[in-house]
Amino acid sequence: MALRIALFGQADFGKRTLDLLLEKGHRVVGVFAPPEESRPDALATRASELGIPSVRRRHYRKKTGEAIPAALEAYRDLEAELNVLASVQVFLPSEILEAPKHKSICFHPSLLPEYRGGAAMQWQIIDGLEETGVSIFIPDQGADTGPVVLQKGGVKIGPSETTASLFFDKLLPLGVEAVVEAVERIDAGTARPQPQDEARASHQGLVDDGIAAVDLTRNASEIDRLVRGCDPQPGAFIRIDGKPVRLYDAGLEIEEVGEPGEILSVDSAGLRLALRGGVLRIGRVRADMGKEAASAFASRAGLTSGARVESGA
């Protein structure tokens, strides 16, 4: 058998999901991707190459939760049997989520019910988790609260992992595999969705600048996790001369030298910053001229050994 699928997604995750669904013999009757911007979207581009109808929208429902009529009309014409939400950043109204025979399934980058919310990967690194996985669930009007169709765990979060490396190197390929496996189970009639255990549920908010501000009174390992969890967005930051400087490509050296906030050295490998209980090596920064090598920024800003930086907050 094969299902008529409406695919909601974006970028490489969406493209890989599309290709694998087609490889498995399913019919993707429509693709819903973000609006056209300066950089082409991989999913929309692939759909165009294959002649699959595509809709480019940022919003599908009103603030009241009701469907936007134009979005609903474009969707209804497809007569999909299942909606697949492949790493989406949009909220769909119930008129779309519950319309198909098999309703909808959605990817989430944690082992639900833990780490619900739009910053799940960031918080798992910030909190120091050592292992994670992916969940495919049936979305409802809650925040990642619907029944789970399947999960794949055993993904190690390494000591140098960033949100970017965790997603692109590990959770993206595993997530595509899990999404398509869930589709196959639904098609075969063997899917057995299980309600989430609310006693184990956790929901973290978005990681904004209130979270990303580095507090130099904190332990080095905590700051290291914050910097890696905020890489690439929004970028954990310190201040130099009162101005924010965001930190990337960081690594922790377990040694205690210098005073917290003191720059120990600057060379081609980056900038070494003393913290409580360790030293943070910073490879790249983003300040007033976009992202650049930390050594280039330090040279431009006149930073040398012994200079001091301030907490972000």
Give the domain CATH number at 264. 3.10.25.10
CATH number, domain of 168, equals 3.40.50.170
Confidence category of residue 225, pLDDT binned at 50, 70, 90 = very high
Sign of the dihedral defined by the CA atoms of residues 228, 230, 233, 236, in that order: negative
* Residue after which a domain boundary falls, among 169, 200, 231: 200
Confidence category of residue 141, pLDDT binned at 50, 70, 90 = confident
Task: Identify the residue with better confidence: 289 or 232.
Answer: 232
220 and 94 share a domain? no
Domain of 28? Answer: 4-200
- Assess if residue 111 is contained within a domain: yes
- pLDDT of 235 > 90? The answer is yes
Confidence category of residue 289, pLDDT binned at 50, 70, 90 = confident
- Assess if residue 313 is contained within a domain: no
Percent over 90 (pLDDT), the chain: 91
Q: What is the pLDDT of residue 184?
A: 98
* Residue after which a domain boundary falls, among 180, 200, 220: 200
- Assess if residue 309 is contained within a domain: no
CB 280 within 8 A of CB 184: no
CB 125 within 8 A of CB 250: no
The pLDDT tens digits of the residues spanning 242-281 come to 999 999 999 999 887 889 999 999 999 899 999 999 999 9
- Assess if residue 22 is contained within a domain: yes
* Residue after which a domain boundary falls, among 139, 174, 200: 200
Confidence category of residue 308, pLDDT binned at 50, 70, 90 = very high
Q: What is the pLDDT of residue 39?
A: 84
Rounded-to-integer distance, Cα 105 and Cα 293, Å: 41
Q: What is the pLDDT of residue 257?
A: 84
Q: What is the pLDDT of residue 193?
A: 98
184 and 282 share a domain? no
Q: What is the pLDDT of residue 1?
A: 77
Tokens of 223: 């700051």
170 and 262 share a domain? no
Rounded-to-integer distance, Cα 109 and Cα 118, Å: 9
Q: What is the pLDDT of residue 255?
A: 80
Residues in the chain: 313
Confidence category of residue 86, pLDDT binned at 50, 70, 90 = very high
Side-chain half-sphere CA neighbours of 161 within 13 A = 24
- Assess if residue 12 is contained within a domain: yes
Q: What is the mean pLDDT of residues 180-199?
A: 98
| Model pTM score | 0.95
* Sheet with 54-56: strands ordered across: 54-56, 27-33, 4-9, 82-86, 104-108, 131-137, 148-156
The pLDDT tens digits of the residues spanning 3-46 come to 999 999 999 999 999 999 999 999 999 999 999 876 899 999 99
Distances in Å between the alpha carbon of 299 and those of 51, 175, 251, 282, 302?
Answer: 51, 42, 21, 14, 5
- pLDDT of 47 > 90? The answer is yes
Distances in Å between the alpha carbon of 44 and those of 49, 71, 164, 292?
Answer: 9, 17, 22, 31
Rounded-to-integer distance, Cα 147 and Cα 105, Å: 10
CA–chain centroid gap for 219, Å, is 26
Of 245, 240, 223, 253, nearest in space to 293 by CA: 245
Q: What is the pLDDT of residue 10?
A: 95
- pLDDT of 307 > 80? The answer is yes
